């Protein structure tokens, strides 16, 4: 479902993309057949939702989605492995958005976290 969201966003259909991302989040939160949640995948979808929301002017909602993406990605995949590059990407893009919302201190903290990850 996230691939469809990306396609919809690329054609400017942001409202439809948002619905796809939200459905994908619901499905991913259910986990796999054994109930395990891939938090990295969940966080990546939250990140894409944030991009979508910021594209339609929902900056506060986008910031919240970035915050959720970062927290999810910190938990890693179903085996607990953290994708440091992916986490750093969410931190940096989230920091950029936080600056737009005049949340400069939080943005600085996120940029420091991304730097510590080496990305």
pLDDT at res. 1: 65
pLDDT at res. 2: 78
Here the contacts of 19-24 (C-beta below 8 Å, separation 24 or greater) are 21/45, 21/48, 21/49, 21/52, 22/49
Q: Give the CATH fold of the 2-116 domain.
A: 1.25.40
Instruction: Name the token pair of 41.
Output: 């995948």
Q: Which residues contact 64 (CB under 8 A, 6 or more apart)?
A: none
Mean pLDDT of the chain: 95
Asked if pLDDT for residue 3 goes beyond 90, the answer is: no
Over the stretch 56-80, which tens digit does the pLDDT of each residue have? Answer: 999 999 999 999 999 999 999 999 9
Interatomic CA distance for residues 42 and 37, integer angstroms: 8
For the chain, the domains span 2-116
Name the percent of the chain lying above pLDDT 70.
Answer: 99
Runs of H (alpha helix) within 1-119: 2-10, 14-30, 39-55, 59-75, 84-100, 104-116
């Amino acid at each position: 479902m996230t691939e469809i969201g990306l396609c919809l966003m690329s054609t400017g259909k942001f409202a439809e993309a948002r619905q796809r991302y939200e459905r994908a989040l619901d499905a991913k939160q259910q986990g796999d057949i054994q109930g395990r949640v891939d938090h990295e995948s969940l966080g990546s979808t939250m990140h894409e939702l944030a991009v979508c929301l910021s594209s339609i002017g929902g900056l506060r909602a986008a910031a919240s989605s970035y915050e959720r993406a970062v927290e999810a990605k910190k938990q890693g995949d179903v085996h607990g492995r953290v994708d440091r590059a992916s986490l750093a990407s969410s931190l940096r893009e989230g920091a950029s958005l936080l600056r737009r919302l005049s949340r400069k201190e939080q943005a600085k903290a996120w940029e420091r976290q991304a730097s510590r990850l080496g990305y």
